[in-house]
Chains A and B, each alone.
Chain A
Amino acid sequence: MNIEHLYRQVIMDHYKRPKNKGLVNDASYLLIHYNNPSCGDEISVQLKLDDGIIKDIKHQGTGCSICCSSASVMSITLMNQTTDHALKIINEYYEMIKGYPFNPEILTGDAIVYQGVAQFPARIKCATLAWKAIEQGIKK
C-alpha cells in the first residue's frame, strides 16, 4: 500500500476543480440521491437522457476527495455515451476498483487513475458512490 497510489494528482485536481458540479433546476433531469451511511458521504446526481444517449450529468454532494472527485470523473467519462455503453463502462470501472482485470478499451481516460483504490478496501465505497447513483438512474 502506498498512499501516493491512492491520491493521484488527477484525482486531487478533480476534487479541487470538479467538472459538471452543481445541480440544475430542470424537470427533464432524473435526480438520484445516494449516501454512505457509515461515513456520512452523500451525493446527488442528475441525469438527462435523450433517445438512449446521456446528454448531461450534474452532481453535488459532500464527501472525501475520493468520493467527490470520482463524481466529476464519472460525469466526464459517461457524458454523451449511449446508456448501453455507459453500463458497460460502469461495470469495467467496478471491476477495476475491486482489483480485477478490466477492459482498457471500454474504460478509458481519467477514470483509470482510480486503479489504486483496489489497495484500499475501506475506500471502495467512496470511489463508487457517484457511479452507483448514475447506474441506478440509467436503469430506472
Chain B
Amino acid sequence: MMNVKEIRKLFPIFNQVKPLHYLDSAASSLKPQVVLDAMDSYYEKLGVNVHRGTYQLTYEATDLYEKARSTVADFINAATDEVVFTRGATEALNMVAYSYRNILKPGDEIITSELEHHSQLIPWQVTAKKTGAKLVFIPLDKAGKITVENFSEVLSDKTKVVAINHVSNALGYETPVKEITRLAHEKQAIVSLDAAQSIAHQKIDVKELNVDFLAFSGHKMFGPSGIGVLYGKKELLNDLEPMQYGGEMADDVFHEYATVKPSPIRFEAGTPIIAGAIGLGSAIEFILALGYDKIHTHLTKLHQMLIAELKEIKEITLYNETASHPTVTFNIKDIHPHDIASYLDQKGVSVRAGHHCAQLVSRFLNVPSTLRVSLHIYNTEEDLFVLIDALKEAHQFFSSF
C-alpha cells in the first residue's frame, strides 16, 4: 500500500501552505522537491546554452537536455527524434493543427468532439476555416462519452484528421483510442491525441496506441510549467511545417532561403526550455519510482469514496459518476459554483469552478458552469472529509440568506 504521509513529505508546498486540501490536480499537479532540485542544479552548476557551445559547461548542459529527451522517449516508447519539447500540450496541439493548414483541402473532414479542451478544439476550428475543411463532432453518448460506435458514425472517406482527447479534463472519461485509431488509419486519416490528462495516471505506449501525434504537459505530471511534449511519428514529423524559425533549427542559410534540420531540432527554434526539460525528465523518474499501479490503486479508492460521499448529499448533482479517472464534476442545487469555490477556499480546499477550458462540455451538460474536484497521489481521505464537510456547510451558509 502507498504511504501517503511519506509521499506528502516529498512535496515542499505542504510545509509552506497550511491547511492545503489541494483538489485541482487536473489543472496542475503539485511539484516534488526532486524536480525543483533538478532544475536548480542546472541553473546553479551550468546555466549555459545547449547544442551550440564549444566548452565543457555546454557539453554537460546538452547532455542533460538530451538525456531528458531520452527519458521521455523511453517513457512513452518512442524514438528520441520523435520527441519534440514544446511550451506545453497547448503548443504541441497547435503545432499539429497549424501544419495541417498546408495539407487539408476543401471538403476534407476533421473529426473532433465536444469533450475537447480548448487547446485541441480551437486550433482545428481555425485550420478548418483557413482550408475549407469541415469540423465534424463525434456524437457523445448520454453520459457524455466518446464510443467507438459513435465515432464510426462520423468516420468517412473524407476524414483526414481525428483530433481527440485521451482522457477528458472535465469529465474524466477515457476515450477508446486504440480502436478509434485503427479505424481512422483504415481511412488513411491521422490521429492527434491530447494526452494531457492521462499521462499522470497511466502508462502510455505510443506504439501500442499507434496514434500519429500525441501531446502532453509537464506541469500536470509533477513537472514544471512551461514544458511539454509533442510526439510524432518520424515519417510525419519531417513533413510538418515548423511554426517557428530561428537559431539552431536552421541547417544551411542563404540570402533568400534556409534549409532546416530534421526533427526534433526542426521544431525547437531558439534556446530551448532547458531547465523545464530537465525538470520533466526528473518528474518522469518520480512517476516511475512511485509506479502507476500504486497511483491507480490509491486514487481508485479515494475516487470511489468521494463519489459515495457526494451521492449522500441530496442537493448535489453528479455529472460523471462513471468516470474512469479521478475527476468529479458536480453542482449544488441553486448555488453557483464560484460561490461554493470561494467558500471552500476559506477552508483551505482548492477546487475548480467554471467550465474548465472546455466550454462545449458545459453546453453539453446544459449548465453555465460546474465544480470540479480532481485527485492525485498526495490526496488523503482527510482531504475528502474536509471537502464534504465544507460543501455541507457552504450549502447551509448560502441557504441561510
Q: Which residues of A contact B (CB under 8 A)?
A: 1-3, 6-7, 9, 12-13, 15-16, 37-42, 62-67, 120, 122-123, 126
**Contact status B342-A38, CB under 8 Å:** no
Contact of B338 among A3, A9, A126 (CB under 8 A): A126
A122 to B364, CA, bound (A): 26
A61 to B336, CA, bound (A): 13
**Contact status B397-A3, CB under 8 Å:** yes
Given A39-B355, A40-B354, 13 more A-B residue pairs with CB atoms under 8 Å apart are A3-B342, A3-B343, A7-B398, A9-B401, A12-B401, A39-B354, A41-B368, A63-B338, A65-B339, A66-B338, A67-B336, A122-B345, A126-B338
User: Which chain B residues border A40 with CB–CB below 8 Å?
Assistant: 354-355, 359, 362, 368-369
Question: Is B211 in the interface zone, CB < 8 Å from A?
Answer: no
User: Which chain B residues border A42 with CB–CB below 8 Å?
Assistant: 368
A9 to B67, CA, bound (A): 59
**Contact status B339-A64, CB under 8 Å:** yes
- List of 5 A-B pairs having minimum Cβ-Cβ separation, nearest first: A12-B401, A64-B336, A64-B338, A40-B369, A39-B354
Chain B 313-350, CB-CB to A under 8 Å as 1, else 0, gives 00000000000000000000000111101110110000
User: Which chain A residues border B362 with CB–CB below 8 Å?
Assistant: 40
User: Which chain A residues border B341 with CB–CB below 8 Å?
Assistant: 122
Question: Is B353 in the interface zone, CB < 8 Å from A?
Answer: yes
* 19 sample A-B contacts, Cβ–Cβ < 8 Å, listed by A number: A2-B346, A3-B343, A3-B397, A6-B342, A12-B398, A37-B359, A38-B354, A38-B355, A39-B353, A40-B359, A40-B362, A42-B368, A63-B368, A64-B338, A65-B336, A66-B338, A66-B339, A67-B338, A126-B338
**Contact status A123-B343, CB under 8 Å:** no
**Contact status A65-B354, CB under 8 Å:** no
A65 to B336, CA, bound (A): 7
Please name the residue on chain B nearest to A2 by beta carbon.
B346
Please name the residue on chain B nearest to A13 by beta carbon.
B401
Chain B 137-181, CB-CB to A under 8 Å as 1, else 0, gives 000000000000000000000000000000000000000000000
User: Which chain A residues border B353 with CB–CB below 8 Å?
Assistant: 39
User: Which chain A residues border B342 with CB–CB below 8 Å?
Assistant: 3, 6, 120, 122-123
Q: In the complex where A9-B401, A39-B353, A40-B354 touch, is A123 in contact with B368 (Cβ < 8 A)?
A: no
User: Which chain B residues border A41 with CB–CB below 8 Å?
Assistant: 338, 368-369
A127 to chain B, nearest CB (A): 11
B336 to chain A, nearest CB (A): 4
User: Which chain B residues border A16 with CB–CB below 8 Å?
Assistant: 401
A66 to B341, CA, bound (A): 13
> Which of A42, A64, A123 has the most C-beta atoms of chain B within 10 angstroms of its own C-beta?
A64
User: Which chain B residues border A67 with CB–CB below 8 Å?
Assistant: 336, 338
Please name the residue on chain A nearest to B346 by beta carbon.
A3
B179 to chain A, nearest CB (A): 33
> Which of B336, B359, B401 has the most C-beta atoms of chain A within 10 angstroms of its own C-beta?
B336
Please name the residue on chain B nearest to A12 by beta carbon.
B401
User: Which chain B residues border A7 with CB–CB below 8 Å?
Assistant: 339, 397-398, 401
A118 to chain B, nearest CB (A): 13
> Which of B359, B362, B369 has the most C-beta atoms of chain A within 10 angstroms of its own C-beta?
B369
User: Which chain B residues border A9 with CB–CB below 8 Å?
Assistant: 401
User: Which chain B residues border A63 with CB–CB below 8 Å?
Assistant: 336, 338, 368
A81 to chain B, nearest CB (A): 29
Please name the residue on chain B nearest to A9 by beta carbon.
B401
Please name the residue on chain A nearest to B357 by beta carbon.
A38
Please name the residue on chain B nearest to A126 by beta carbon.
B338
A37 to B362, CA, bound (A): 12
B160 to chain A, nearest CB (A): 30
A64 to B343, CA, bound (A): 12
A94 to B336, CA, bound (A): 23
A12 to B346, CA, bound (A): 18
Chain B 354-388, CB-CB to A under 8 Å as 1, else 0, gives 11000100100000110000000000000000000
Please name the residue on chain B nearest to A62 by beta carbon.
B368
**Contact status B338-A123, CB under 8 Å:** yes
Please name the residue on chain B nearest to A6 by beta carbon.
B342
Please name the residue on chain B nearest to A42 by beta carbon.
B368
B90 to chain A, nearest CB (A): 15
User: Which chain A residues border B337 with CB–CB below 8 Å?
Assistant: 39, 64
User: Which chain A residues border B346 with CB–CB below 8 Å?
Assistant: 1-3
A5 to B205, CA, bound (A): 51
> Which of A3, A6, A13, A37 has the most C-beta atoms of chain B within 10 angstroms of its own C-beta?
A3
**Contact status A39-B397, CB under 8 Å:** no
B393 to chain A, nearest CB (A): 10
A16 to B335, CA, bound (A): 11
A83 to B334, CA, bound (A): 36
A120 to B343, CA, bound (A): 11
A65 to B338, CA, bound (A): 9
A59 to chain B, nearest CB (A): 16
B338 to chain A, nearest CB (A): 4
